[in-house]
Structure 1
Amino acid sequence: MLTYPNLISALRLLLVPVFAILLIQGQDTWALGVLAVSGASDWLDGKLARALDQGSRLGELLDPAADRLFILVTLVVLAVRDVVPLWLVAVIVGRDLLLTVVLAVLVKTQIGPLPVHFVGKAGTFALLYAFPLLLLAQWPGTVGLVAGIVGWAFAWWGVALYWLAAAVYLFQAVRELRRRRDAAATAGGGTS
């Protein structure tokens, strides 16, 4: 449990409140720095886990938890600051709530969480790039203009990929639940 990748993921989780406070206080440059460190640590923990063969179930849970928390906190604070519209918060948080319910059903039926799909990782990646760019879009001049255009492009791609990943996860969940039901019916002597 005390592996380098897990410690890095735990540190990333600890950076979430630091990031939120900086963002709320309007210290955007420092907040962007924390976000950059978080992004680098997200890459580093995965790289170390593979290189050192230190992958773990805890790491599989910590890494996406840190990503989701950063996305949620960033979204809420950016919405409070009127940087992003509330509909964007609703679309992203709604997807996560839906998958939380699906996960609860899977855990209750002892299937457990399904593996993370590449599309979901790509959606998370796009959103984690979109938010700092949308924050930079508040700056005057060319930097703000370019950051806004690129940030919204990442946001739209991120939302699309996020929901596509949700559809893939729902399909996998239904397939696993049907497989479990069919196995139970077969074991119980039932016929289909």
Structure 2
Amino acid sequence: MQLAVTSEPPDALAEKSGEAGADRILTVPNALSVLRLIGVPVLLWLLLARHADGWAFALLIVSGVTDFLDGKLARLLDQSSRLGALLDPFVDRLYLVATVVGLLLRDILPWPFVVVLIGRDLVLTATLPIYRRRGLAPPEVIYLGKAATFALMSALPWLLAGHMDWPLRGFGHAFGWALLVWGTAVYVWTGLLYLGKAVAVARTVPIPTGEQPQRS
């Protein structure tokens, strides 16, 4: 929070500072998110065209680290923004879907997990109009859901590592599967929580009606 000498109440000052910062585009966290976004097609090229599993593994690790850093830096540098709030989860989902599909096509990830993971996101995407029609923002991110996403994004590179010819192949296979099973279970659970919130909003919050035209 920025401090300044002003006659306005602290609450009003904080609100204005937040609104001003929310419109920023050129920030360090947003730059990291854009770099991660550029990495998505590169990852698919490494996995499917080149079969360069070592480079794909490294890219996934770097993506996970930068995903952790952009949130931390947004708070430390006071660089939170509306764009970042939209871009960060979008890139998370895009990375997850791209990696899941890539590993499926490489016969590394079984298709039931792919159906569950992608199906969960499709169902939740279908609930967004419930909020839009009522003029509401989507629900706040559940911390447990972030933990599940982190577990899944950690599991996928280790599953890939379990198919590489290197000394940690056995560890990668076992560790990747442990994270995958736990992350998928929590991912589905938080999806049900989000779905429950959407159903509650649909039942309890009416859709605003426009003003009735005045008769002459």
Q: Same fold (TM over 0.5)?
A: yes
Q: Which position in structure 2 is the counterpart of 1:148?
A: 173
Q: What is the CA deviation profile of residues 97-152 of structure 1, one whole-angstrom value per residue up to 9, with x for unaligned ones?
A: 00000123222332221111011101101100110011011135762222111111
Q: Which position in structure 2 is the counterpart of 1:5?
A: 29
Q: CA deviation at 1:6?
A: 1.0
Q: Which has the higher helix share?
A: 1
Select the residue among 168, 182, 192 that pairs with 1:167. 192
Q: What is the CA deviation profile of residues 58-94 of structure 1, one whole-angstrom value per residue up to 9, with x for unaligned ones?
A: 1111111111111111111111110011111101010
Partner of 2:91, secondary structure, is helix
Q: What stretches of structure 1 move > 4 A for 4+ residues in a row? A: none
Q: Which position in structure 2 is the counterpart of 1:60?
A: 85
Tell me whether 1:35 sits opposite 2:60 in the alignment.
yes
Letter in 1 for 2:55: W
Q: How does 1:1-192 map to 2 (within 5 A)?
A: 1-24=25-48, 25-140=50-165, 143-181=168-206
Instruction: Give the TM-score normalised by structure 2.
Output: 0.80
**Distance change >3 Å, CA 142–CA 30, structure 1 → 2:** closer
CA RMSD of aligned residues (A): 1.8
Letter in 2 for 1:5: P
Q: Whole-Å Cα distance in 1 between the matches of residues 130 and 202 of structure 2?
A: 9
Kindly indicate whether the alpha-carbon contact (under 8 Å) linking 2:149 and 2:183 is maintained by their aligned counterparts in 1.
yes
Letter in 2 for 1:62: L
Q: CA deviation at 1:179?
A: 3.5
Partner of 2:163, secondary structure, is coil
Gapped regions of structure 2 (runs ≥ 5)? 1-24, 209-216
Q: Whole-Å Cα distance in 1 between the matches of residues 164 and 30 of structure 2?
A: 36
Q: How many residues align?
A: 184
Q: What is the CA deviation profile of residues 136-188 of structure 1, one whole-angstrom value per residue up to 9, with x for unaligned ones?
A: 1113576222211111110011111111111111122223333422x97xxxx
